[in-house]
Amino acid sequence: MSSTISIRLPEDVADLLDKVAEETERSRSFHVQKAVLKYLEEFADAQIALDRLRDKDDPVITAAELRATLGL
């Protein structure tokens, strides 16, 4: 099932989206959906990283310690 949403884009962004849609023979909706999914994945990754940084029980090591642990 899908939902319909409306968004406003600056004209230059809409023009770029139209160009990509035409070049790839895919709909604007296809590209917007892919972009939103990518953003949400990146947002989730960033949130996990921030949560780990705030966790006082999660040890922090230096890059040198990591390389030594990995034998690099």
Of residues 11, 10, 14, the one with CA closest to residue 29: 14
* Per-residue pLDDT at 53: 84
Q: What angle do CA 9, 5, 21 make, to 5 degrees?
A: 55
Of residues 36, 58, 34, the one with CA closest to residue 48: 58
- For residue 58, what is the DSSP state? S
What residues contact 21, with CB distance under 8 A and at least 6 apart? 27, 28, 30, 31
pLDDT tens sequence across 10-62: 999 999 999 999 999 999 999 999 999 999 999 999 999 898 888 888 888 89
